[in-house]
Amino acid sequence: MARLVLKFGGTSVATIERIRNVALHVKREVDAGHQVAVVVSAMSGKTNELVGWCREASALHDAREYDAVVASGEQITAGLLAITLQSMGLDARSWLGWQIPILTDGAHGAARITGMDGAPLIEAFEKNNQIAVIAGFQGIHQQTGRITTLGRGGSDTSAVAVAAAINADRCDIYTDVDGVYTTDPRVVPHASRLDRVSFEEMLEMASLGAKVLQVRSVELAMLYKVRTFVRSSFDDPAAPRPGTLICDEEDILEQQVVTGIAFSRDEAQITLRRVADHPGIAAAIFGPLADANINVDMIIQVVSDDTTTTDITFTVPASSYERARQILEDHRATIGFTSLQGATDVVKISAIGIGMRSHAGVAARAFRALADKGINIRAITTSEIKFSVLIDAEYTELAVRTLHALYGLDRKPEAETKAAS
């Protein structure tokens, strides 16, 4: 007997019929003798509808009341799934975030989990063999007693946190895809599903544009060593595919140099020309942006020939571009730049792989391959297990396909595979 957490996203619970399908997945695990907690998202489109109502009521609304409204979507799903499971003869009850409780800080709309007591859920397992159906995405700020929400994709984080709190044997994240792929199959049809991905690789993929999991959920899984599977809820409930396991690096026997190619279209480039080159100038530029919670990436500094001025280029999320420009203009006198140039028609392409630690020249091969395709690189950043390049958006698909093939990630078509064998 194992203790499992199953999480189902919005498309998996979009209708009553799909909720019945989810219930069959849950029943399969219960019939196998496992203790099961289920974490659910709001039905597909419901959160957007609730957010729209808040904005319609008032453009400037109280974040605490916003959370009270948008958290209701998961409450509905949890209740409906519990009812469905009960109709199948299974003992199930719904839990809201405050009932467990899942404790968070007071950052409404983007709260972080600070603690959770899994004892009530474990007691329900042990005494009654009861299925816990938990509303994801939400918690409670203990000091104020107010409902909080964890940000978009927060149900993934809820599920991993629950798994850690109850010492679950694994956490299955059910989505509309059957695992983690080497890149987006819509861009590269021959992309392969990965059997295993390390926590570090998945963290990089999630932060660099892959939409499979919320970044915070991967951070928690890595911190608490929660073995996490990404699986498809649309598989046959009687015989689902195993999906992709996200695990420790030590659990991956054969490590590829590059595991996957991620890309992010939510990028904007800003260049400050002829900035005075003296101590404290970087703080003058990036301090105000940090105060405004604008994330900065891919910083490049080029000193002029006379060494008295420098050009500084960096990227920010496209959604923060106009705010960033305005903040920099407001601080022009302090910073002392001559001109500000910007571009929003850019994309960040990243190659990720723990095998990079032990192989030299991985990035150089990519730069050469992109140059051969006539693709100009605007900026470069690297870390131990990834490198990223900023390029013009019009070359996105060509660049992704080029790098995917370069590192041998293309899956051979079935016909070619059979012919080869």
pLDDT on residue 43: 97
Percent of the chain residues topping a pLDDT of 90: 80
Residue 35 near residue 198, CB atoms below 8 Å? no
Q: How confident is the model at residue 412 (pLDDT cuts 50, 70, 90)?
A: low
What burial class does residue 358 get, using C-beta atoms within 10 Å of its C-beta: 0-12 exposed, 13-18 middle, 19+ buried? exposed
Residue 176 near residue 211, CB atoms below 8 Å? no
Q: How confident is the model at residue 413 (pLDDT cuts 50, 70, 90)?
A: low
Q: At what angle do helices 46-57 and 72-87 cross, to 10 degrees?
A: 150
Residue 43 near residue 73, CB atoms below 8 Å? yes
Name residue 351's beta-bridge partners: 261, 387
Q: In 3-state terms, what secondary structure has residue 60?
A: coil
Instruction: Give the mean pLDDT of 204-211.
Output: 81
**Residue 140 pLDDT exceeds 70:** yes
C-alpha 395: how far from chain center: 24
Give domain 261-406's CATH superfamily: VC0802-like (3.30.2130.10)
**Residue 163 pLDDT exceeds 60:** yes
- b/e map 99-116, b = 16+ CB within 10 Å: ebbbbbeeebbbbbbeeb
Instruction: Give the mean pLDDT of 367-371.
Output: 97
Residue 327 near residue 228, CB atoms below 8 Å? no
Express each pLDDT in 26-64 by its tens digit. Answer: 999 999 999 999 999 999 999 999 999 999 999 889 999
Residue ranges covered by each domain of the chain = 3-250, 261-406
Task: Return the DSSP state at 375.
Answer: P
Q: In 3-state terms, what secondary structure has residue 93?
A: strand
Lowest mean pLDDT segment, chosen from 3-12, 297-306, 357-366: 297-306
pLDDT on residue 419: 42
Q: How confident is the model at residue 420 (pLDDT cuts 50, 70, 90)?
A: very low
C-alpha 162: how far from chain center: 18
pLDDT on residue 51: 94
pLDDT on residue 416: 41
Q: Residue 321: count other Cβ atoms within 10 Å of its Cβ.
A: 20
**Residue 136 pLDDT exceeds 80:** yes
C-alpha 102: how far from chain center: 20
- The candidate with the shortest Cα–Cα distance to 2, out of 210, 229, 213, is 229
Region of 336 (left: φ > 0; alpha: ψ -120 to 50; beta: rest) is left
What span, in angstroms and rounded, lies between the C-alpha atoms of 124 and 139?
20
Q: Supply the mean pLDDT for the chain.
A: 92
What span, in angstroms and rounded, lies between the C-alpha atoms of 266 and 414?
34
Answer whether 3-250 and 261-406 agree in fold.
no
Express each pLDDT in 263-314 by its tens digit. Answer: 999 899 999 999 988 889 999 999 999 999 899 989 988 877 667 889 999 9
Positive or negative, the Cα torsion across 5, 10, 11, 13?
positive
What burial class does residue 350 get, using C-beta atoms within 10 Å of its C-beta: 0-12 exposed, 13-18 middle, 19+ buried? buried
DSSP character string of 112-150: -EEEE--HHHHHHHHHH-PEEEEETTEEEETTTTEEEE-
Instruction: Give the mean pLDDT of 366-388.
Output: 94
Cβ-Cβ contacts under 8 Å for 185 (sequence gap 6 or more):
191
Residue 147 near residue 97, CB atoms below 8 Å? yes
What span, in angstroms and rounded, lies between the C-alpha atoms of 117 and 115?
7
Percent of the chain residues topping a pLDDT of 70: 96
**Residue 421 pLDDT exceeds 50:** no
Query: In angstroms, what CA-CA distances link 52 with 14, 57, 64?
Result: 18, 9, 16
What span, in angstroms and rounded, lies between the C-alpha atoms of 258 and 193?
14
Name residue 390's beta-bridge partners: 348, 379
CATH architecture of 3-250: 3-Layer(aba) Sandwich (3.40)
3-state SS track over 252-304: CCCCCCCCEEEEEEEEEEEEEEEEECCCCHHHHHHHHHHHCCCCCEEEEEEEC
Instruction: Give the mean pLDDT of 170-188.
Output: 93
DSSP character string of 174-235: EESSSS-BSS-TTT-TT--B-SEEEHHHHHHHHHTT--SS-HHHHHHHHHHT--EEEEETTS
Task: Return the DSSP state at 152.
Answer: T
Lowest mean pLDDT segment, chosen from 208-212, 300-304, 371-375: 208-212
Q: In 3-state terms, what secondary structure has residue 101?
A: coil
Angle, CA 214 vertex, CA 208 and CA 218 arms, to 5°: 90
